Amino acid sequence: MLAAIRPDSWNLPLFLHVLGAILLFGTTATIAIVGFAGRSQPTYAPMLSRIAFRTFLFGIVPAFVLMRVGAGWIVDKEFSNNEPGWVGVGFVVSEPGAILLLVMGILAWVASRRQGVGKAALTVPILAGLYLIALVVAWWAMTTKPG
């Protein structure tokens, strides 16, 4: 029922936020899958580590920016003074998540330079998996809007 009474001016920022969040989840899952595949198939580790870094650079970075710009835009339009708790959950996941993503990107670059060998190549999919869990929590909070 809430969607039926939402003003039309909120559609674009909400769409951009949701699109960015979906792309962020998908590209983070891609890095986790590719990273773990590189660990289980050492023959393909150099290629897969380059794919992980490029996915970070051309997928995660634009998706994160799109998600955050859309989130800020829709929050400014919808909640002028009093933000509900589920909005706070989204900001708690995204703001420290930016630091986690930055570390993950640096480690993905190091892993790609070292041909997918070393601790950086193992750490990238683990960090991606942890961030996926945080994104699931935020996604749950955004969709269920608990108290």
Domain chopping of the chain, boundaries: 10-144
- CA distance to 51, 99, 119, 135, per residue, from 96 (Å): 25, 5, 22, 12
The upper half-sphere exposure of residue 131, i.e. CA atoms within 13 Å in the direction of its Cβ, equals 30
Q: CATH top-level class for 10-144?
A: mainly alpha
pTM over 0.75: yes
Burial of 110 (0-12, 13-18, 19+ CB in 10 A): middle
- Contact criterion met (CB below 8 Å) for 94 and 101: no
The tokens of 134 are what? 């945080």
pLDDT score of 126: 94
The tokens of 58 are what? 């051309």
- In angstroms, rounded to a whole number, what is the distance separating the alpha carbons of residues 143 and 10? 17
- In angstroms, rounded to a whole number, what is the distance separating the alpha carbons of residues 132 and 17? 17
pLDDT in tens, the chain (147 residues): 555 666 677 788 889 999 999 999 999 999 999 999 988 888 888 899 999 999 999 999 999 999 999 988 888 777 767 777 777 788 888 889 999 999 999 999 999 888 877 888 889 999 999 999 999 998 888 888 766
Residues shown for the chain: 147
